[in-house]
Amino acid sequence: MKPLETATFTNSFVDELSGDPSRENVPRQVPGYHYSPVRPTPVAAPKLLVWSEEMGAELGLEQPPEQGAATELLAGNRVADSMRPYAARYGGHQFGNWAGQLGDGRAISLGELPGQDGRRWEIQLKGAGPTPYSRRADGRAVLRSSVREFLCSEAMHHLGVPTTRALSLVSTGDQVLRDMFYDGNAQDEPGAVVARVSPSFVRFGNFQLLLAHEETDNLRALADYVIRHHFPTLGATSPDSPEVYVAWLTEICRRTAEMVAHWQTVGFVHGVLNTDNMSILGLTIDYGPYGWLEPYEPGWTPNTTDFTNYRYAFGQQPQVCLWNLTQLAQALTPLVPDPELLRPALNQYVATFNRSHHVRLLAKIGLTASGNEEADKQLVGSLLPAMEGARVDMTLFYRHLSHLAPRLLAGESAEELATQLLQAASYAAPEAAESASLRTWLGQYAARLRQEPATPEAIQDGMLAVNPKYVLRNYLAQQAIEAAEAGDLAPLHTLHEVLKRPFDEQPEHEALAARRPEWAATKPGSATLSCSS
């Protein structure tokens, strides 16, 4: 373990791709290049608020003190000699509409450090000041959004969901003006910088912008770079060939499908699935106006910016990600003589998602694949609308079902256990007519559960291992944010620690597994958010 300020960074993106020769840090178009060199803008009084011990250990870094050289690097006040900081150029579709050049408007990558797993990890500061891609913005981030990004990045990792990571959260000592709901009520808020970490932050939009500007050489160079560094087995025999690009897109589709299947089975709603927010590595990226399903509502989104069309609602995520992958496939057509060769990759997404989603849902209810796959699909398929009708809390429902499964196998009444389940997990009255389907389903489930060869104890252990007790509910994040804004970091640290063990009982933190309180259903930040941060 070593101090961050003594670490030696490498800079493959800068070294191997095309950089903007201008050092003019003003909003502007940057045609012809992959990135712009840019230095972070110093802040008034950086202070380390929270550190990811796990990510730090992966990078071989010791935890920095609240103030000092490492914290200044994590805030952007210092740049080490081995760093070559840059902002990437990309475009994208936002809410289905082509937006042109976007780029890293407030994210600045510092370089790469080796991990214990043999990979190199890119460290990027979010909120580190303006770049040529900032458009009319200031390049800063506020504490509320930075707390949410830090916590969710690490929480998702510990849930087993493919994700970018977070290393640190630093307060800046500066105020940042933000209009949280774009309603004319802008306020000064405390600023912060998150150091987030990933093998790569390349997005679908990096390729889309190069297609839009007909920069085929840059498009090929970026594709080859990503394959060389992050999909090395694909290009080992015949690099720079149409077959490699087709195989690469197929793997991107497979990884993305697995990621979305994870989302749909833990209740995560990304909130803003624009193509510039889609990772080329199939990782969850850009934690903005996300949320977690509480009542199971496929049509729910936490993002007020999406309230017109609900394009990014929970139930729309699988289809939207397929649409986004289609835009990526379009961006790669200059590299493949026959674009029809790319179509099977998209079919791979559909097949992978359907298979993974089904298998994950079976595991959540303690079942393994049987000889009657159609019956199992019908059982799983009827569960989701029953959950919606009964307004059950998704996390609580599956967790309580894990404890009820052995009792069903022991012959206890499915009707009585259904009442207990609804009392524990539903936001509606247990006797509500809308709960009838769920009661019926539980009886069918009990009959199917008895066909499992495993012991009741093994079934329960398997369910508890995939059904988290703790997730980052929006109201919990909001409580931690409000405390941090008032100078109390204890709730933030407690939540961070609890979410490292989401499948453990942790009885001393039972309150963090509770059903959403009534006040949180309408409170800003607890129920709804916007893209403003």
Estimate the crossing angle of helix 490-498 against helix 474-485, to 10 degrees: 150
To the nearest 10°, report the CA torsion of 479, 482, 485, 489: -20
Q: Is 179 annotated as a binding residue?
A: no
Sign of CA dihedral 270, 469, 253, 103: positive
Question: Is residue 125 within a helix (H) or strand (E), and if so which, with residue range?
Answer: strand 120-126
Cα distance from N-terminal residue to C-terminal residue, the chain:
34
Tokens of 112: 């790469």
Q: Is 47 annotated as a binding residue?
A: no
Q: Is 376 a catalytic residue?
A: no
Instruction: Indicate the DSSP class of residue 93.
Output: E
SS3 content of the chain, % helix, strand, coil (to 5): 45, 15, 40
- Helix, strand or coil, per DSSP, at residue 447: helix
Q: Is 92 annotated as a binding residue?
A: no
β-bridge pairing 120-126 and 187-198: antiparallel
Q: Is 138 annotated as a binding residue?
A: yes
Cβ contact 132:28 at 8 Å? yes
Q: Is 103 annotated as a binding residue?
A: yes
Cβ contact 207:331 at 8 Å? yes
Q: Is 139 annotated as a binding residue?
A: yes
Helices then strands, counting H and E runs in the chain, come out as 16, 12
- Report the candidate in 47, 340, 331 with the shortest Cα–Cα distance to residue 202: 331
CA 491 to chain centre: 22
Active-site residue, selected from the candidate residues 20, 104, 276, 306: 276
- Report the candidate in 435, 453, 367, 358 with the shortest Cα–Cα distance to residue 397: 435
Cβ contact 462:116 at 8 Å? no
Residue type, 223: A
Sign of CA dihedral 102, 105, 110, 113: negative
Q: How many residues does the chain have?
A: 533
Q: Is 501 annotated as a binding residue?
A: no
The annotated binding site for ATP is made up of 103, 105-106, 126, 138-139, 196, 203, 286
Query: Would you name the residues annotated as active-site residues?
Result: 276
Annotated binding site for Mg(2+): 277, 286
List residues forming the annotated binding site: 103, 105-106, 126, 138-139, 196, 203, 277, 286
